Amino acid sequence: MQKISESTVKRLSLYLRILEEFEAKNHETLSSEDLASRTGATSAQVRKDLSLFGSFGKRGLGYPISELSKKIRQIMGLEHPSRVILVGAGKLGAALVGYHGFAEHGFNIVAAYDKDRKRIGQSLGSLKVTAEDKLEADLRRDPVDIAIITTPSGVAQEVADRLARCGVRAVLNFTNTKLMVPGEIVVKDVNMAVELESLSFAIQNQYREAI
Amino acid sequence: MQKISESTVKRLSLYLRILEEFEAKNHETLSSEDLASRTGATSAQVRKDLSLFGSFGKRGLGYPISELSKKIRQIMGLEHPSRVILVGAGKLGAALVGYHGFAEHGFNIVAAYDKDRKRIGQSLGSLKVTAEDKLEADLRRDPVDIAIITTPSGVAQEVADRLARCGVRAVLNFTNTKLMVPGEIVVKDVNMAVELESLSFAIQNQYREAI
DNA sequence: GGATGTGAATGTCTTCACAGCT
DNA sequence: AGCTGTGAAGACATTCACATCC
């Protein structure tokens, strides 16, 4: 199969969101243009993206919603819910545990670890914060594919190393550290400061262009 | 000036993070390779990115840290702290208010709005949640450039419209709604479900390739 | 010697535009 | 008639490789 670009993958995820919305409303089909206008893509892009995986549409009609959404979930490995752990139960970590957006999309946070004595044992929603030194034993018993790192940046690499040794295959990294991991492990960085700074640049730049 | 790509802007932000780190350690210079290895870029890319704004390095030596970091802050409009408001004081909103990463980078959340009676008046760190209908009056008195939307998706567009009318110039959108805004307003979408789903795809795909 | 700055080459992604199906 | 699927063209981004300077 051909290599799929990161941007295509992100868009698939957006298409899926729309498909699910219209599936709930019992609509039958959506055109590439419908999907495009609701996700910020172009219709050609939607068609290209989808055609990378096969030919799902009906000419003159559009794409059958429930069939396509099922197919996308299949492509993206979303047919079954995944178990996710979180390391670092500070403010951000706590919020992510409490945030229902993850569970809605089938990502269940099943444990939250922290080093800090004061946090261990505290309740986070339906979870209790676990001592971080239990990590290895827990993962040996119940492996997970995905971990979220919300520790301070200084310890992120060490945490990543431990996760890698325990067979974690994907990491969502909220710290500022560029993680070095074995090639088979996938890391995605989420850096909200970067996003805000991009906004700042865009504003600044508008101003500059106006001069 | 030439058009600057989104990816360049994001990288500038990452370079800045490294520069600040080494500035704190009183280092004098960093090479493009130093910046590259710490941000996941290549040295050629670092040089290209920086050369878009001028010629800051010394051949044979590298880039003078404090001069370059100052310059990048200038380019990105980060010379002075910005005031930011947040609309939607649910779990995620509360976490963002409590998260210190923003303030560290000069983005101060100065108010948090919510519609929900139960939340209005509640303390969020040093802030108290304000009734959402005060939004217009507040912004008229004290305009802000940047707003963060963490409301339920259903009301995001309406909130965006109101913000636009109050002169907000940039929006960080955590909802699933594709916001329609006037051209002069910049929107950045942060969608953590999309990030997790991308990870899911990457894992799934490794498996598929192995077959 | 060692690192920058930058045209040229390459690679990747997006858009166009239209043939082909329903 | 309407909308997909897709080569070809175009736009954009990255990498190469080397002349240039400290």
Which tens digits make up the pLDDT trace of B2-61? 789 999 999 999 999 999 999 999 999 999 999 999 999 999 999 999 999 999 999 999
Is residue B8 a contact partner of residue A147, using CB atoms and an 8 Å limit?
A: no
Q: How far is B143 from chain A (nearest CA, A)?
A: 14
Asked if the Cβ of residue A44 lies within 7 A of any atom of strand C, the reply is yes
Asked if the Cβ of residue A8 lies within 7 A of any atom of strand C, the reply is yes
Instruction: Please list every residue in chain A whose beta carbon sits closer than 8 Å to the beta carbon of residue B205.
Output: 4, 77
What residue is closest to C16 (Cα–C1')? Answer: A44
Is residue A15 a contact partner of residue A39, using CB atoms and an 8 Å limit?
A: yes
Asked if the Cβ of residue B41 lies within 7 A of any atom of strand D, the reply is yes
Q: And the tokens for B72? A: 């990048």
Which pTM value belongs to this model?
Answer: 0.94
Q: Using the structure, give the distance in angstroms from the CA atom of A73 to the C1' atom of D11, rounded to a whole number.
A: 32
Q: Which bases of strand C have any atom within 7 Å of the beta carbon of a protein residue?
A: 1-7, 12-17, 20-22
Q: Could you tell me the pLDDT band of residue B65, with boundaries at 50, 70 and 90?
A: very high
Which tens digits make up the pLDDT trace of B144-162? 999 999 999 999 999 999 9
β-pairing, B82-87 with B107-114? parallel
b/e per residue B11-48 (b: at least 16 CB within 10 A): bbbbbbbbbbbbbeeeeebbbbebbbbbbebeeebbbe
Gap between the Cα atoms of B97 and B127, Å rounded: 8
Confidence at residue A210, expressed as pLDDT on a 0 to 100 scale: 65
Gap between the Cα atoms of B185 and B149, Å rounded: 14
Q: Could you tell me the pLDDT band of residue A100, with boundaries at 50, 70 and 90?
A: confident
A154 to chain B, any CB pair closer than 8 A? The answer is no
Gap between the Cα atoms of A131 and A136, Å rounded: 11
Instruction: Please list every residue in chain A whose beta carbon sits closer than 8 Å to the beta carbon of residue B102.
Output: 192-193, 196
